[in-house]
Chain A
């Protein structure tokens, strides 16, 4: 049996839940067709999560590629199809990239080992200064902090996921929520063991009375818990939290059936700090959003 998974026109962190609602009930070995033909836009989160979705399936899925030329071209420019071709059976016309897309800070990039993190950091440093300082009016100090945050969330894949994942970074104008303000978004997605299973693998781990994906996210993100006994562990995400707090940004992490968010001080986002009982999706999907500074 084959099930068609309809992908919404606009594919980002929230609308990706609609995809997961369709996929989660299906057996892992059931063939799926991920239909993106009518997609009009995808955030870095949407693209990286689509790749993680394919990795999570036992049976190689089919991807119907977007029909709109500009969408297909853009996904090519983001290197999405380059990776998708290894995970999906692509059907439809994949258009090659034409012109350089200046809003792309980092194309969809595979992360599975420490060297990959070095490559990402080297690449982003060259591009981030202009994008963050000139285009988003952010203080020059942000470049190093931004790169540190990127490095830490990528390392989570290498250190904890148990399998490879993806990262992408892009700037764009957020028309609805920020009234035309620009944002820079880091998205990192993996289909690995996720936060709960990672903590459960800690030596001497004892399950609490209430223990679920939401608790695991709270322990890790808010209290710096780690599966390692080494007290030096767990600092990376704490640093990322400080970073988003200092720049009025937002950090959201989805793992298993829950999503936790460190919300901005400003009023540009109305997300809930913790959302539970979501459709199950393995691994972790991280999004960091930093908005343009306005006078």
Chain B
């Protein structure tokens, strides 16, 4: 299932009913803990929309606590906490500034989804990896052979690249190939990852 987490609600629940701005590190840490508890309830394999639509200000400290530290637990190449994929929605221009800064600092990348449904990859990612993600995204779903043909890599090299993108939780792996995170999050079409 696609899960939806409204960050603004997490803020009000965990810190203060009256707050609408994500500022200060303790606030960010409290909100992240709330999100983690929510994720703990939804199983070992999940696709989760993190929605910033109702968040006013997001400062660098909060972006680091909420976005970077959340991702670091789930996109760890060696030992991710669980197989959780994230799509970030409702990201404003000023949110983006803070988020991009922390992604750069931690060498992370994530997928944002915009009102028109278009998904974008932001953060630190190599050109070929970005191209591979875009190919899978455009295809809806694909395998290493599709990427190998399009980029001019061997199938083995393309498989390694897709595996890296999967470990970074930017692609979802299923039996016969991969789906790009973001292309599978149309709200009207829930997707079961554990099917």
Which residues of B have CB within 8 Å of A235? 60-61, 64, 101-102, 105
Q: Is the CB of B57 within 8 A of A121?
A: yes
Residue from B19, B61, B92, B105 within 8 A of A152 (CB atoms):
B61
A151 touches B57 (CB 8 A): yes
Cβ of B105 and Cβ of A121 under 8 Å apart?
no
The 0/1 profile, CB within 8 Å of B marked 1, for residues 137-150 of chain A is 00001001101100
**Complex: how many Å from CA A148 to CA B101?**
13
Instruction: Tell me if B16 is interfacial: C-beta within 8 Å of chain A.
Output: yes
The answer, yes or no, to whether A27 is at the interface (CB within 8 Å) is: no
Residues of A106-131 at the interface with B, using a CB-CB cut-off of 8 Å, are 114-115, 117-118, 121-122, 125
Size category, A interface: 20 to 34
A232 at the interface (CB under 8 A from B): yes
Distance A239 CA – B104 CA, assembled complex (angstroms): 13
Pick the contact of A239 from B16, B98, B106 — CB < 8 Å? B98
B22-51, CB < 8 A from A: 23-27
Contact B26 A114 (CB under 8 A): yes
Interface residue A155 (Cβ < 8 Å from any Cβ of B): yes
User: B residues within 8 A CB of A147?
Assistant: 21, 57
Do B24 and A239 touch across chains, with their CB atoms under 8 A apart? no
CB <8 Å contact, B98 and A121: no
A117 CB to nearest chain B CB (Å): 5
* Complex Cα–Cα for A129 and B94 (A): 15
Contact status of A236 and B56, CB under 8 A, knowing A114-B26, A121-B21, A122-B21: no
- Partner of B57 from the list A114, A125, A155, A158 (CB cut-off 8 Å) is A125
Contact B24 A155 (CB under 8 A): yes
A231-B106 Cα distance, complex, nearest whole Å: 7
Write out the residue numbers on chain A whose beta carbons fall within 8 Å of the beta carbon of B64.
Answer: 232-233, 235
**Among the listed B27, B98, B102, which residue makes an inter-chain contact with A114, where contact means beta carbons less than 8 Å apart?**
B27
Please measure, in the bound complex, the distance between the C-alpha atom of A233 and the C-alpha atom of B69, giving whole angstroms: 12
B94–A144 touching, CB < 8 Å: yes
CB distance B94 to A121 under 8 Å? no
Report which of A151, A231, A233, A238 forms a contact with B59, defined as CB distance below 8 A.
A151
Q: How far is the CA of A238 from the CA of B59 in the complex (A)?
A: 12
B25/A159 in contact, CB under 8 A: yes
Q: Are B68 and A232 in contact (CB under 8 A)?
A: yes
Within 8 A of A (CB), among B54-81: 56-61, 64-65, 68-69
Q: Out of A118, A145, A155, A231, name the residue touching B21 (CB < 8 Å).
A: A118
A122 to B21, CA, bound (A): 8
Q: Is the CB of B21 within 8 A of A236?
A: no
Interchain CB contact under 8 A, B60 and A141: no
Residue pair B68, A148 in contact (C-beta under 8 Å): no
- Give the residue name and chain of the B residue nearest to A115 (CB): B16
Q: In the complex the two chains form, is A125's CB within 8 Å of B56's CB?
A: yes
Q: How far is the CA of A152 from the CA of B97 in the complex (A)?
A: 14
A190 CB → nearest B CB, Å: 16
Q: A235-B61, A238-B101, A239-B101 are in contact. Are A114 and B24 (CB under 8 A)?
A: yes
Interface 1/0s, chain A 231-250, versus B by CB < 8 A?
11101101100000000000
> B105's contact among A114, A115, A232, by CB below 8 Å, is which?
A232
Say whether A118 contacts B102, CB under 8 Å: no
**Which B residues touch A115, using CB under 8 A?**
16
B56 / chain A contacts, CB cutoff of 8 Å: 125
Nearest CB on A from B179, distance (A): 30
Judge whether B23 and A121 touch: CB under 8 Å. yes
Contacts of A125 in B (CB 8 A): 21, 56-57
B93 at the interface (CB under 8 A from A): yes
Q: Are B97 and A236 in contact (CB under 8 A)?
A: no
Beta-carbon contact of A151 and B23 below 8 Å: yes
Q: Which residues of A contact B (CB under 8 A)?
A: 114-115, 117-118, 121-122, 125, 141, 144-145, 147-148, 151-152, 155, 158-159, 231-233, 235-236, 238-239
9 A-B pairs within 8 Å (CB atoms) are namely A121-B57, A141-B94, A145-B94, A232-B65, A235-B61, A235-B101, A236-B61, A239-B60, A239-B101
Q: 7 more A-B contacts (CB under 8 A) besides A118-B27, A122-B21, A148-B59? A: A118-B24, A151-B59, A152-B59, A158-B24, A232-B102, A232-B106, A235-B101
Q: Which 4 A-B pairs have the closest CB atoms?
A: A144-B94, A232-B64, A114-B24, A151-B23
